[in-house]
Structure 1
Amino acid sequence: MSDADVQPGRAKRFVILLGWVSLFADLCYEGMRSAIGPYLALMGASATAVGVVAGTGEAIGYALRYVSGALADRTGRYWTLAIIGYSTNLIAVPLLALAGSWPMVAALVGLERLGKAIRSPAKATLTSFAASDVGAGKAFAISEAMDQVGGLLGPLVVAGVLAWRGETLEGFAWAFVILGVPAMITIAVLLRARHLYPDPRSLDKSDQSDQGELGMSYRLYLVGVALIAIGLADWPLLSYHLQKEGVLSTQWLPVAYAAAMGFDGVAAIAAGTAFDRRRAKGRNPGAVVALFVLAGAGYAPLILSSDASSPFLAIAGIAMWALTLAATESVGKALIATIVPRGERGRAYGLYYLVWG
């Protein structure tokens, strides 16, 4: 009899523990992300430079995930890859305080994104091992909701530091140093999780085989993911537009991003619950993903047409943007856990992230 059978609820505790990892990591990362656009603007970077930094960072973060996912499946060292990946937050984010130019900022953002590439497929696969017990939708919704609590707190921390130290290079430097604290907590919680769950695969009660193929259902799903990704802009570019058009001041941009992350977390719980209910009734749970994506499809016209006289258009657009994120970051990942064999999930999540990027 497995440990999961002996200790009912063990899988749920595992998911929540990984949720704490996500919370503190995203407190660090999303705090940094909310500040990068204005930080680059203060350094004299152009809109093109902001786009290049954001795009290059995301390209690094997504392009290497297939490799790290395949490596995770081949070696089974999910914990090792997760710890290495999360450790880069502890290095890259505080060092932004010492960056003297926007190219140096770009290099550090790239380093942080490299860590994201290493850890993301392993982390998603670890969560998927508990999906058969907790429910795939619920497992990834809990992860996403706690992730977004961190996403909510991080920008608020940055906003508070900027209000305290001023919207200057020194103020941003203070913010980046302070964000190193949750990065340290992330590593501590992750090490504790590894100690308590050295073999998380024992939590998986599904009858899926360890090996198999990424079938047609998965491939068709990736086509849909690619179409969604094409239409979803990155936050630094959106925040740059909002600042330059005078829609929101620099101090309020992190608050707007925090609100979007909070809305994302609430929407993820609703989506995850609906996903599991549809699946329990034998219906196609992928319809939940499609519904949320369609609900958020009109974000771009609202944000890009907003100016100082119409901030509410931007607010509505940001909320719709968050709906799409909720679909892709929670039930989008949950769907993979239900259609991909256990031993191929690292590769499946890595390819998912690659297509998304």
Structure 2
Amino acid sequence: MRAVNRDASRPALSAWRFVTVFGTVSLLADFVYEGARSITGPLLASLGATGLVVGTVTGVGEAAALGLRLVSGPLADRTKRFWSWTIAGYALTVVTVPLLGVVGTLWAAVSLVIAERVGKAVRSPAKDTLLSHAASVTGRGRGFAVHEALDQIGAVIGPLTVAGMLAVTGGDYAPALGVLALPGVATLALLVWLRLRVPDPADYERDTAPAPSAAAGDAGRLPAAFWRYCGFVALTMTGFATFGLMSFHLVIRGLLPAALVPVLYAAAMGADAVAALASGWCYDRFGGKVLLTLPILSAGVAVLAFSGSAVAAVAGALVWGAAVGIQESTLRAVVAGMVAPGRRAGAYGVFAAGLGAAAAAGGALTGWLYDVSVGVLVVAVVGIQVLALVVAMTFRVCSEQVDDGMSPSRYPVDTSR
């Protein structure tokens, strides 16, 4: 009787199938919103926006996408309605994007741009929590890495599709953004199907042994290791240049035509996917020490991307993509290992908000230093990343003692059905 009950409680999909289907959901969603984000600036300009308006709107949007997770994360933990938060966030995104192509006023377009980013804030902590349960079986590094790799396929296809539609229609934004309604509908349909098949992904994690550091999160406060980890990540992000600044450098220095910048961005997203898979496998195999490569890559971005050589600058953009791949996959996997399931969505909200604040500060810092001197920018970024390495090693931030505490041999066997 016990055996029958235990089997009945198992999810209808294997953990790997759950991860790959969820990754396909993200692929379709990225197809939608990355396609729109690739032309947000020109679209707003066509409605009369100034450079200040574009910069402010996109900045407010990113702040909303990250900062509001401080609210959505704890609320998801409190209500335990992780699927509802996830579906609502995706719905807000896939509805607002096609409407961008048909609104005729600047204020309406601005509202939709910000609403799309709010959708990301609504869904992300809950989505990461759902994914973390299945990843506890597949290996947290590998689970988040495969999800990120699939995600980035959409990030490549979306902008290229929009660019193709603009070329065919002579620059008409309505059909270029309207076509994104198709993957948007597919996103919601697949998400609802997955929710019906696996109503409670926490079942994946019920038979796994909790890590000692994760158990600390059950006491009502996030564990100290989590806060040290957030400090390390924030420091690396403070010295991390944005693609916007790199593309600015490429164009104004005459290293690359503006028309090729989206192609380079797509290539960087490909590097993102490859790096996510590699770092995820290494994390499960060797532990948190793999994160020590992040400050090294971030320093390499500055050295290469802001050089006077087109080849070196392009290489720097690819290294930037690889660093983003680690940020978007393995960094999130580590959080799942440090915090117990009952506090995990809130922890993801705190982590994302801190990451966003550090990224904003880093963008402002590197932009200001670029105007002062490219040489000063490179030296400052390298110095910050060296400091991040010292902090990580001094406080053992990336040691086995503060990662998920689960060696690959302790993961349950995931058999497909």
Distance 1:4 1:138, change over 3 A: farther
The match for 1:221 is: 229
Distance 1:164 1:207, change over 3 A: same
Question: Does the CA-based 8 Å contact 1:37-1:236 persist in structure 2?
Answer: no
Q: What's the secondary structure of 1:206's corresponding residue?
A: coil
What is the TM-score when the length of structure 2 is the normalising length?
0.76
The match for 1:176 is: 177
1:239: how far off? 4.8
1:5: how far off? 8.2
Larger mean CA deviation between 79-88 and 207-216 belongs to: 207-216
1:317: how far off? 2.5
The question of 1:109 aligning with 2:109 is answered: no
The one-letter code of the counterpart of 1:179 is L
Distance 1:149 1:74, change over 3 A: same
Q: Which has the larger radius of gyration?
A: 2
1:24 and 1:247 map into 2 onto residues whose CA distance is 33
Q: How does 1:1-357 map to 2 (within 5 A)?
A: 2-3=6-7, 10-43=14-47, 45-100=49-104, 102-166=106-170, 168=171, 170=172, 172-204=173-205, 205-208=207-210, 209=215, 211-212=218-219, 213-235=221-243, 239=247, 248-249=256-257, 251-278=259-286, 285-300=287-302, 302-303=304-305, 311-357=310-356
Structure 1, gaps ≥5 residues long: 279-284
Distance 1:319 1:70, change over 3 A: same
1:100 and 1:28 map into 2 onto residues whose CA distance is 20
Q: What's the secondary structure of 1:194's corresponding residue?
A: helix
| Deviations, residues 128-169 of structure 1 (Å, cap 9, x unaligned) | 001221000011001100001111111111221122123x3x
Distance 1:341 1:67, change over 3 A: same
Larger mean CA deviation between 197-206 and 33-42 belongs to: 33-42
1:103: how far off? 4.6
Question: Does the CA-based 8 Å contact 2:29-2:94 persist in structure 1?
Answer: no
1:226 and 1:156 map into 2 onto residues whose CA distance is 32
Quote the RMSD (CA, aligned, Å). 2.5
1:207: how far off? 2.6
1:42: how far off? 4.7
The one-letter code of the counterpart of 1:68 is S
1:4: how far off? 8.7
| Deviations, residues 236-278 of structure 1 (Å, cap 9, x unaligned) | 5655665666655554333222211111001100000000001
1:235 and 1:35 map into 2 onto residues whose CA distance is 15
The one-letter code of the counterpart of 1:199 is D
State percent identity of aligned pairs: 43
Question: Does the CA-based 8 Å contact 2:10-2:204 persist in structure 1?
Answer: no
1:101 and 1:113 map into 2 onto residues whose CA distance is 19
1:190 and 1:277 map into 2 onto residues whose CA distance is 31
What is the TM-score when the length of structure 1 is the normalising length?
0.88
1:293: how far off? 3.8
Structure 2, gaps ≥5 residues long: 357-417
2:194 and 2:277 map into 1 onto residues whose CA distance is 23
